[in-house]
């Protein structure tokens, strides 16, 4: 799969998929895509169930779901696929190559780009049907376990079980075409993407590379393209202990302070600890008591503690599991202080050599004394907000050069333990300039999109995929050249592109026209999202952990979304971190005894909340008036997308959260609300199917369902037990569960559970 970018220093060679269907490579043209298995006598159900051996039918799978999908999808746009473009020699073996796949994707966009910005209505259903068949088949096959894999195959990238290698190539191709389809028809209403399961063979490659599947789950990496790419990262070298992890949870970065050991720069180093704060010598505490931020510098022998005042300083950000913490003393090994000072100094290359740059590090700048520690924690947000730079140290980045491709740097940042921890979210969101330390230098991640685009702009990629324009170009190739020749702002930056553009303009005096501009916009807008998934996933993930939108309850959606899936060795710290990010003084939270009371205190410190918070299906506070509120924002299964919904915010009261502008269904008093399964209800003249029922409390006396979306769509729903009404204007309901609601229209011939009263959005609900 050589259309993927190649990571530096991969743990394994590039996967080579054997070309197996020489005898049948032209036979697909005779049949339609979905009928191909029956024409060649293969029972797909038996293959998916394991009754037929996957490896024995690898050639069939490749002919149908790889080459057949290519021919079918591109053929809808009359784009003929030359099978030879996807075959290469490796030694004495024929293998599948996707090196020219990006060129076909570009021509696909060009073929479907017509005035009016709408794809030919006859094409879309055919493409979607093909991808749907490929998707459902591949998802069933993905569950088949892989047998023994030889060390020779791992070392050479060739010789893996053929059926599994082919299946992985099918999954990666299908996902790419599915994403690309959204780019081709992006002017249409948003399309629902298919969900592509990652195969057992793909998971084998990940685990063989040292990955913990629980860590990937917590990172939220589920896309096959990204899983395949990161499976080339060497995670074995990190030497993390994953013995207590599961497929859904990684505990390798959790620490136990009772047995924690601060690490030296090298395993053999035995240098002394440099103590910054101790009994009888408390320079850090003195600065904190003055209301300032303590910062330090190290001259190689002693530590200078000073007040930040107006002094520029660097705040360090790290995960304790890498060994830079110390729960017993405000001290660090001399070698670590020397290393940190050297890295901090490197951020200021023009400084005076004799003047070390001050820095802040929690291990030595947050005193262990309880009350003073509270003071330092309350000042944590100001510490990172006031720093001129924040430098992230993560062991997983230390083996990679900063001079590799920008998309690799972004993806390596995404995969760091740093992105999985609680406190680092605050440190990343509040930083004015955020640097990540790689092996040879530190990098500002915000600069990477510009670096990536410079190397991967449509202008540059056109030259790579199509070469120079010439009279023998196909009409679609000419259309691409015309589109890019209309972008004078870009082609003047590249000498080869400029020559190509002038050549095109001289041949086509009518260029640019409206179609040229339309195609240029499509190529430029969609090529990163649809055709370069590694870059797109890396950058979008970074943006979520970097940017905080608004203050107070306005910032909660971005903060909650970024907290999802994170962990802390001290889970009680979550509310402190959230409070500081919402500009709330955490003093009262610090005095609360446990996570539940701390969350209640945090909730009480705000009056308004995003109303869609009530629909998030996560464990709730089991307290009257607070059952709408989550126990934690870090639940990895939470879906906070709805928190960005515009409209009137929810208002906290003693009885619960008051929300408005939601439709709702009131069930009859005598109806026993099912605790599981699915059922159909009738409201007025329309029907709705209630699914994914999850009732937390038995014996609901008067059930109602509040809909997140209007009843004409698929929506999440909140089940409440009505216990009071305020003159018919406000209804009070105790949160008891969650459902999904699917609109069925005004025709339904099946069984109906009951009739419901549909309430308009003019009603308000108080969810407690």
Whether residue 353 contacts residue 346, with contact meaning beta carbons closer than 8 Å, is answered with: no
For residue 203, the Cα-to-chain-centroid distance in whole angstroms is: 18
CB 24 within 8 A of CB 425: no
The distance of Cα 429 from the centroid of its chain, to the nearest Å, equals 17
The three state secondary structure string of 170-220 is HHHHHHHHHHHHHHHCCCCCCCCCCCCCCCHHHHHHHHHCCCCHHHHHHHC
Tokens representing 129 are 């049907």
> Rounded to a whole number, what is the distance in angstroms from the first to the last CA of the chain?
53
> What is the rounded distance in angstroms from the CA atom of residue 156 to the CA atom of residue 154?
6
> Using one digit for the tens of pLDDT, what is the confidence trace for 596-620?
999 999 999 999 999 999 998 899 9
Bridging pattern class, strands 389-393 and 314-318: parallel
Does the structure show a pLDDT above 80 at 520?
Answer: yes
Question: What's the rounded Cα separation, in Å, for the pair 421 and 563?
Answer: 9
Tell me the pLDDT tens digit for each residue of 346-358.
999 988 887 899 9
Q: What is the mean pLDDT of residues 172-181?
A: 92
Identify which of 457, 517, 543 has the alpha carbon closest to the alpha carbon of residue 492.
457
| Crossing angle of the two packed helices 458-466 and 495-507, in degrees rounded to 10 | 80
Contact 324, 318 (CB under 8 A): yes
pLDDT at 726: 85
Buried b (16+ CB within 10 A) or exposed e, 683-705: beebbbbbeebebeeeebebbbb
DSSP 669: T
Share of the chain above pLDDT 90, in %: 65
Confidence of residue 764 (pLDDT cuts 50, 70, 90): very high
Distance from C-alpha of 60 to C-alpha of 167, rounded to nearest angstrom: 11
- Examine residue 512 and say whether the peptide bond preceding it is cis (omega within 30 degrees of 0): yes
- Length of the chain measured in residues: 768
Q: Residue 708 burial by CB count (10 A; 0-12/13-18/19+): exposed, middle or buried?
A: buried
Lowest mean pLDDT among 209-213, 464-468, 612-616: 464-468
Residue 337 φ then ψ, to 5°:
-65, -40
pLDDT digits (tens, 9 = 90+) for 692-741: 999 888 788 899 999 998 877 788 999 999 999 887 678 999 999 999 99
Burial (0-12, 13-18, 19+ Cβ within 10 Å), 266? exposed
553, 610 in Cβ contact below 8 A? yes
488-493: average pLDDT: 74
- CA gyration radius, the chain: 29
Please name every residue paired with 608 in a beta bridge, in sequence order, or none if there are none: 651
Instruction: Give the pLDDT of residue 68.
Output: 93
Q: H/E/C letters for each residue in 535-603?
A: HHHHHHHHHHHHCCCCCHHHHHHHHHHHHCCCECCCHHHHHHHHHHHCCCCCHHHHHCCCHHHHHHHHH
How far is the C-alpha of 66 from the C-alpha of 692, rounded, in Å? Answer: 35
pLDDT for 558-591, tens place per residue? 899 899 889 999 888 999 999 999 999 999 999 9
Cα–Cα nearest to 306, from 338, 337, 284:
284
646 has a pLDDT exceeding 70: no
| Helix or strand run (H / E) with residue 410 | helix 406-414
Closest CA to 612 of 583, 637, 636, 647: 647
């Amino acid at each position: 799969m050589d259309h993927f970018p190649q990571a530096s220093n991969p743990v394994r060679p590039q996967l080579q998929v054997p070309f197996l269907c020489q005898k049948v490579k032209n036979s697909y043209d005779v049949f339609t895509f979905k009928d191909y298995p029956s024409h060649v006598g293969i029972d797909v159900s038996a293959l998916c169930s394991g009754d037929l051996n996957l490896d024995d039918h690898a050639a069939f799978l490749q002919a149908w779901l790889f080459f057949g999908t290519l021919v079918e999808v591109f053929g809808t746009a009359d784009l003929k696929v030359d099978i030879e473009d996807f075959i290469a020699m490796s030694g004495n073996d024929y293998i599948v190559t996707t090196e020219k796949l990006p060129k076909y994707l570009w021509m696909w966009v060009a073929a479907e780009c017509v005035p009016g910005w709408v794809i030919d209505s006859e094409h879309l259903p055919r493409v979607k049907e093909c991808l749907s068949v490929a998707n459902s088949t591949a998802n069933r096959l993905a569950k088949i376990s892989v047998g023994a894999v030889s060390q020779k195959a791992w070392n050479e990238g060739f010789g893996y079980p053929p059926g599994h290698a082919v299946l992985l190539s099918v999954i990666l191709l299908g996902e790419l075409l599915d994403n690309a389809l959204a780019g081709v028809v992006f002017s249409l209403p948003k399309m629902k993407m298919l969900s592509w399961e990652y195969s057992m063979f793909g998971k084998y490659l990940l685990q063989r590379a040292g990955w913990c599947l629980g860590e990937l789950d917590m990172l939220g990496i589920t896309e096959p393209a990204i899983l395949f790419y990161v499976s080339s990262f060497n995670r074995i070298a990190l030497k993390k202990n994953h013995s207590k992890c599961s497929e859904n949870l990684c505990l390798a970065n959790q620490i136990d302070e009772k047995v924690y050991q601060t690490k030296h720069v090298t395993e053999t180093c035995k240098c002394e600890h440099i103590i910054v704060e101790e009994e009888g010598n408390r320079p850090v505490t003195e600065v904190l008591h003055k209301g300032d931020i303590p910062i330090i510098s190290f001259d190689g022998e002693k530590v200078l503690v000073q007040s930040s005042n107006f002094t520029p300083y660097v705040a360090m950000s790290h995960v304790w599991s890498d060994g830079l913490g110390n729960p017993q003393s405000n001290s660090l090994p001399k070698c670590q202080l020397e290393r940190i000072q050297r890295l901090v100094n490197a951020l200021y290359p023009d400084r005076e050599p004799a003047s070390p740059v001050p820095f802040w590090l929690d291990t030595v700048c947050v005193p262990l004394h309880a009350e003073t520690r509270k003071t330092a924690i309350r000042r944590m947000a100001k510490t990172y907000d006031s720093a001129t730079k924040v430098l992230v140290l993560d062991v997983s980045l230390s083996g990679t050069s900063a001079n590799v491709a920008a998309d690799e740097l972004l993806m390596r940042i995404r995969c760091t333990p740093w992105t999985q921890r609680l406190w680092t979210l605050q440190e990343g969101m509040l930083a004015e300039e955020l640097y990540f330390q790689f092996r040879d230098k530190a990098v500002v991640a915000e600069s990477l999109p510009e670096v990536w685009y410079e190397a991967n702009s449509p202008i540059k990629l056109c030259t790579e995929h199509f070469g120079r324009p010439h009279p023998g170009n196909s009409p679609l190739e000419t259309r691409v050249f015309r589109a890019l020749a209309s972008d004078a702002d870009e082609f003047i930056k590249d000498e080869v592109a400029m020559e190509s553009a002038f050549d095109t303009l001289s041949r086509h005096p009518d260029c640019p026209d409206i179609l040229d501009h339309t195609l240029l916009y499509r190529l430029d807008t969609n090529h990163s999202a649809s055709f370069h998934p590694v870059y797109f996933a890396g950058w979008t993930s970074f943006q979520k952990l970097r940017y905080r939108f608004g203050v107070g309850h306005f910032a909660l959606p971005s903060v909650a979304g970024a907290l999802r899936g994170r962990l802390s060795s001290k889970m009680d710290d979550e509310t402190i971190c959230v409070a500081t990010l919402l500009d709330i003084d955490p003093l009262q939270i610090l005095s609360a005894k446990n996570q539940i009371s701390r969350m209640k205190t945090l909730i009480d410190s705000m009056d308004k909340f995003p109303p869609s918070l009530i629909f998030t299906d996560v464990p709730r506070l089991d307290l009257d008036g607070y059952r709408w509120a989550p126990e934690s924002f870090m639940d990895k299964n939470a879906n906070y997308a709805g928190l960005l919904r515009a409209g009137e915010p929810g208002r906290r009261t003693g009885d619960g959260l008051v929300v408005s502008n939601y439709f709702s269904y009131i069930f009859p008093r005598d109806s026993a609300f099912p605790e599981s399964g699915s059922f159909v209800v009738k409201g007025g003249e329309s029907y709705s199917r209630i699914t994914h029922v999850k009732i937390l409390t038995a014996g609901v006396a008067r059930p109602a369902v509040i809909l997140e979306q209007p009843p004409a769509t698929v929506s999440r729903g909140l089940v409440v037990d009505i216990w009071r009404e305020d003159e018919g204007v406000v209804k009070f309901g105790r949160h008891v569960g969650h459902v999904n609601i699917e609109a069925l229209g005004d025709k339904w011939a099946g069984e109906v559970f009951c009739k419901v009263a549909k309430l308009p959005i003019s009603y308000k609900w108080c969810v407690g």
